[in-house]
Amino acid sequence: MKKKGAGWRPAWAKLDNTAILFPVIASKEMSNVYRISATLTEEIDGELLQEALDILLPQFLAFRMRLKMGIFWYYFEENDRKPPRVTEENSYPGTYINKSMNNHYMFRVTYYQKRINLEVFHALTDGYGGLLFLKELIYQYLRLAHRDDAAFAGEKDRLSPGLSLDQEDSYSKNFRKPKSADEAYRSKRAVIIKGERRPKGELGVMHGYFPLDQLKAAAKSHQVTINQYLVGCFVYSIYLEYLHKTPTEHPINCCVPVDLRSYYNSNTLRNFFAMVAALFKPEKDDYSFDEVLQIVKDSLKAQITPENLDTILSYNVSNEKNMFLRPIPIFIKNIAIRSVYHGIINGTTATMTNIGNVVLREPYQKYVEHFYAMLNMSKGQDLKGAIVSCNGTLILTFTTRLVDVSIQKRFFRLIVGDGVEVAVETNDVIPDEEPENKGVRARNARKKEKKKKKRNNRKNK
Amino acid sequence: MNRCPNCNVILYQKNMQVCPLCQCVTEEVSPEDATHVKELFGDNAPYPDIAKRRRVLRFWLRLVLFLMIVAETILAMINYLMPTHYPWSVITGFTFLYIYLFVVYWVTHDSGFAAKVGLQLLITMVFLFEIDYWNGMNGWSVQWAIPGIILLGDGIVFFLMMLNRSRWQSYLLLLILMGVCSLVILVFYFTHVISNIIMPLICTSVTFLYFLGTLLLGGGAAGRELRRRFHI
């Protein structure tokens, strides 16, 4: 990236309402980093991917930011350092992003075989922004990788036409003074999934592949949407495998982030979502799958209304707007935010997010096979799910810190029971797998092989 | 490609002999089924074998802590058994604590360079004050040593600003911190905690003139940095 001249004034931005929380609570155990990946139909060339990022980042201010600490608040300031180094994947998904390393960028790009991974610190943007960035990165990468291909002749090293780079704080823009002091989130205790954990730092990943049309039919047969169906299956699996059908004092609370952009006509690249909860409190001995689905459906339907989302937004932003709280020094605010956060972590059982259907523009679509989304763990939540669909396949990824996978097992079996074909993949490395997939030594050998190929190609030219 | 007969799911990874969901032995799918699955879902995306990061660093930190505890225990015992009643082992204890905090903070924390230097200087001031306190509070720490640290801080800020000229304004907060510390020392003089004004006056005037100089010569960049850092 070009070094800026002496008169350069770095842009800056205050953190949006959701982002305020993340730098305060982020740690190596709870990184608040999510991953969105895409698999291409071809092997990734790391150098080309770096080149694509070098072209893209100067055009994408929302990602060209570093996190700085002020006296009263954190804030973002434009970063003029070189783009972060693209590396081959060498850590578990969503590992902590150290704000003083990685050239001070709050995201990282890695690759492995055919997969490109984008990991983003949640303060920077939500899944919508992350997905847009990854799509543009893929466009640039494929354009570079196929520069001799006639299909890419008209493609330029610019962002896609029509892409909105709006960075407004839509929370503040759409804030209306709450009518009552009634809390939008009631942080009542929920069922907390506990169990033996994997070794520190390890994250279990399990992808479930579903054909979208079959899943649609299954959801329709229960008269629910796909999202309600998947959340309902998840809640029912927790009910069967963790609660063993016993009535409990506390409900199962599955958090579902709702993208607010369509409700407020916003295109912001910054965070703009609200959390609603799929609540199910078992009060009798035996609930059927359809009963739970109906409860989850009603719970989500009642909360995902413009009025309720407005109440949630206004309640959340009202604290930030409080004139008495704003001038409190950041180190005191941090203590207060941390203690409030720790007070409410027992209010959520799990999270299930849906990024939606990804469509790429032509001529890129045929070079991309799948998209994946993954959430890292939070305190009190050792199991999370993230959904994304592309090319007629919906992929739900469970991430967990727990050794036990009985909830996931029940979840997939429920869906198979509804006549959906399911394929499962994990991040466990199978010892018998082909040697090229294994170990650092093999990876280095692959790198050497690639370099050799390149050298030969150059010689031939 | 294998299938779990219990869960009835396809296991995408090659050679997956045991189902990751129910730990049941899997069966191999027929070539026709494998083709069907590939048509339906496309290729899978295996993960690399993440080499377990060796926690060498943590081990060394723990080893340093352990050795310090051992050394301090021995020193405390010697101090107790010696005929003098002077508690010098408390000072060594603070020294070990200071060194340990210094190492841990610089190695493990992800805050910026300026923040690390600022906190380090503050810890050093507290440490010097503690030594003075345990020696009968003669006042040498607030009279001479802490103002000296403030001047050292000013020097470090100057050095950092020269070293990182394109982002020199990032160190303004550190300079403000030194200014606040020198004001506190000045307050000590006016409340008669210390009797000599020479060092407090030198460190206060150097810090404030330095700060004023950066504001005037730095132009808009300094003002912008301060507006951002102090935004409410």
Express each pLDDT in B77-130 by its tens digit. 999 888 877 888 888 898 898 888 888 888 777 778 888 899 889 989 998 888
Query: Which of A70, A409, A413 is closest, CB to CB, to B229?
Result: A70
Could you report the predicted ipTM of this complex, rounded to two decimals?
0.81
Q: Is A348 inside any structural domain?
A: yes
Q: How many domains does chain A have?
A: 2
Residue A59's domain is classified under what CATH number? 3.30.559.10
Task: Kindly state the greatest CA–CA separation across chain A.
Answer: 75
Domain boundaries, chain B: 2-41, 52-109, 117-232
B100 vs chain A: nearest CA distance in angstroms? Answer: 21
Q: Is A54 inside any structural domain?
A: yes
Q: Is A79 inside any structural domain?
A: yes
Q: Which residue has the higher pLDDT, A56 or A343?
A: A56
Residues A84 and A212 in one domain: no
A-chain residues within 8 Å CB-CB of B114? none
Residue A7 predicted with pLDDT over 90:
no
pLDDT per residue over B118-159, tens digit each? Answer: 988 998 999 888 888 888 888 888 889 999 999 999 999 999
Residues A214 and A105 in one domain: no
Residues A146 and A265 in one domain: no
Q: Is A393 inside any structural domain?
A: yes
B39 vs chain A: nearest CA distance in angstroms? Answer: 11
User: A423 and B43: CB-CB below 8 Å?
Assistant: no
Q: Is A209 on the interface with B (CB under 8 A)?
A: yes
Query: Which of A113, A369, A430 is closest, CB to CB, to B13?
Result: A430
Q: Are strands A252-259 and A350-358 parallel, antiparallel or unpaired?
A: parallel
What's the confidence (pLDDT) of residue A432? Answer: 52
CA distance B205 to B190: 16
Residues A126 and A214 in one domain: no
Q: Is B115 on the interface with A (CB under 8 A)?
A: yes
What's the confidence (pLDDT) of residue A436? Answer: 47
Is residue A388 within 8 Å of A395, Cβ to Cβ?
Answer: yes
What is the arithmetic mean of pLDDT over B202-215?
Answer: 93
∠ CA A103-A49-A367, nearest 5°, is: 145
Q: Which residue of B has its CA nearest to A90?
A: B50
Residues A269 and A356 in one domain: yes
Q: Is A157 inside any structural domain?
A: no
Query: Which of B7, B111, B113 is closest, CB to CB, to A412?
Result: B7
Domain that holds residue A50: 12-151
Average pLDDT, chain A: 89
Q: Are strands A383-390 and A393-400 parallel, antiparallel or unpaired?
A: antiparallel
Q: Which of A176, A187, A189 is nearest to A309 (CA)?
A: A176
Residue A363's domain is classified under what CATH number? 3.30.559.30
Q: Which of A146, A197, A70 is nearest to A368 (CA)?
A: A146
Residues A137 and A262 in one domain: no
Q: Give the ranges where A269-420 is alpha helix by DSSP (H).
A: 289-303, 306-321, 330-344, 406-417
Residue A220 predicted with pLDDT over 90:
yes
Adjacent-strand bridge partners of A385: A352, A398
Here the contacts of B63-66 (C-beta below 8 Å, separation 24 or greater) are B64/B100, B64/B103, B65/B100
Residues A111 and A246 in one domain: no
The reply to whether the predicted model has a pTM over 0.95 is: no
CA distance A330 to B231: 11
Residues A387 and A251 in one domain: yes
Residue B58 predicted with pLDDT over 80:
no
- For A116, residues 6+ apart whose C-beta sits below 8 A from its C-beta are A37, A38, A39, A40, A44, A49, A109, A110, A134, A137, A138, A141
Please give the C-alpha separations between residue A160 and each of A59, A135, A163, A364, B68, in angstroms, as whole numbers.
11, 10, 6, 12, 59
CB atoms within 10 A of CB B25: 11
Residues A222 and A335 in one domain: yes
Q: Which of B201, B106, B205, B120 is nearest to B156 (CA)?
A: B120
Residues A120 and A239 in one domain: no
Is residue A429 within 8 Å of A437, Cβ to Cβ?
Answer: yes
